[in-house]
DNA sequence: CGCCGGATGTCCT
DNA sequence: GGACATCCGGCGC
C-alpha cells in the first residue's frame, strides 16, 4: 500500500492560487489532498482524495458547456468553491471550482479514504457498505460526508469553513498517478481527464457510458 | 466479478 | 420526452 496515504500528518489550508489553473492540472494536484468536514460535535472528518475528474468549459461533458445558468453559477465564479449538483433523482456530487473567475470549470471529487471519524462515515453510508467502497464514488463520497445541495458555494479555502481543502504535506509522485477516460460520460468519452492514485483500491471502477461512441 | 433493472428530480431539447 | 458526471440489490458464471 502506498506509504502515508492512510495516515495523517499536520494539516494546513490548501492555497487558493493552486486551484486557479486549468481543470486537468487542478484535478491532478488535488490527488492526495484532504477534504475536511467540521462535524456538529466539533470533530473533523478528514478524507484523503484519491480520485478526481476534470470538466472544462469547452468540454461537451461539462455542465458549464452550454453557458452560465443558475445551477452552474459557481463553476463560473472564483476558484476554490463547491459546486454541488443533484443527479439521477437521488444522488449529490461535489466539485471544486477552478480556473479564473468568468470561466466555467470544476473538478469532480470521485473518491476518498476516511482518515478520521470512520464510524460516523460508515453510519451515514449504511452498515452494509463494504469497506473498500465506503467513499469510492462521487455520490458515496457526499453520502459519507453528509453533504447535499445546502453545501453548494462553500469557500473551501477559508480556514474556518465547515468544509475545506487542506494539505498534510503528502506528495504524490507522477509514478503513483493513473490517468484515463472519465466514468459514465457520453460526450468526450475518451478524453483522459480522470485521475486516481495507482495501487489504491478505494476508487470507483471504470465504466464506459453505454451509448458512448466506440473507442477510436 | 459482471450484467441488468429500478429508483427518482432537474435540466435541456 | 429523454438524458443524466449514480448506486444498490439480485442473479448468473
A211, closest nucleotide (Cα–C1'): C3
Give the whole-angstrom CA distance, residue A129 versus residue A144: 11
Give A184 CA → C4 C1' in Å: 10
What architecture is domain A12-197? Roll (3.10)
Is the pTM value of this prediction over 0.95? yes
Per-residue pLDDT of chain A (216 residues; tens, 9 = 90+): 677 899 999 999 999 999 999 999 999 999 999 999 999 999 999 999 999 999 999 999 999 999 999 999 999 999 999 999 999 999 999 999 999 999 999 999 999 999 999 999 999 999 999 999 999 999 999 999 999 999 999 999 999 999 999 999 999 999 999 999 999 999 999 999 999 999 999 999 899 988 888 877
Q: At what angle do helices A138-145 and A118-125 cross, to 10 degrees?
A: 120
- Largest separation between any pair of C-alpha atoms in chain A: 52
Terminal-residue alpha carbon distance, chain A: 34
Strand C neighbours with CB under 7 A?
A: A 53, 55, 61-64, 75, 83, 85, 87-91, 93, 95, 106, 108, 125-126, 128-129, 133, 137-141, 143, 182-187, 204, 209, 211
C-alpha cell at A142: 457526499
Q: DSSP class of residue A149?
A: G
A62 φ/ψ angles, rounded to the nearest 5 degrees: -90, 140
DSSP assignment of A85-138 = EEETTTEEEEEEE-SSTTS--EEEEEEEEE-S-HHHHHHHH-TTS-GGGTTBSH
Amino acid at each position: 500500500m502506498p506509504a502515508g496515504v492512510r495516515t495523517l500528518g499536520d494539516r494546513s489550508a490548501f492555497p487558493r492560487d493552486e486551484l486557479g489553473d486549468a481543470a486537468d492540472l487542478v484535478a491532478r494536484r488535488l490527488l492526495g489532498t484532504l477534504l475536511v468536514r467540521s462535524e456538529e460535535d466539533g470533530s473533523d472528518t478528514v478524507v484523503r482524495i484519491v480520485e478526481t475528474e476534470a470538466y472544462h468549459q469547452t468540454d461537451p461533458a461539462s455542465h458549464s458547456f452550454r453557458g452560465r445558468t443558475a445551477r452552474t453559477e459557481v463553476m463560473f465564479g472564483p476558484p476554490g468553491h463547491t459546486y454541488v449538483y443533484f443527479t439521477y433523482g437521488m444522488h449529490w456530487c461535489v466539485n471544486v471550482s477552478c480556473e479564473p473567475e468568468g470561466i466555467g470549470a470544476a473538478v469532480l471529487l470521485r473518491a476518498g479514504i476516511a482518515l478520521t471519524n470512520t464510524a460516523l462515515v460508515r453510519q451515514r453510508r449504511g452498515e452494509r457498505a463494504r469497506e473498500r467502497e465506503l467513499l469510492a464514488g462521487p455520490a458515496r463520497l457526499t453520502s459519507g460526508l453528509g453533504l447535499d445541495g445546502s453545501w453548494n458555494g462553500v469557500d473551501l479555502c477559508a480556514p474556518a469553513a465547515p468544509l475545506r481543502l487542506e494539505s498534510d504535506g503528502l506528495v504524490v509522485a507522477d509514478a503513483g498517478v493513473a490517468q484515463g477516460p472519465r466514468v459514465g460520460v457520453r460526450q468526450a468519452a475518451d478524453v483522459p481527464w480522470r485521475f486516481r492514485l495507482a495501487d489504491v483500491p478505494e476508487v470507483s471502477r471504470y465504466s464506459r457510458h453505454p451509448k458512448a461512441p466506440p473507442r477510436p
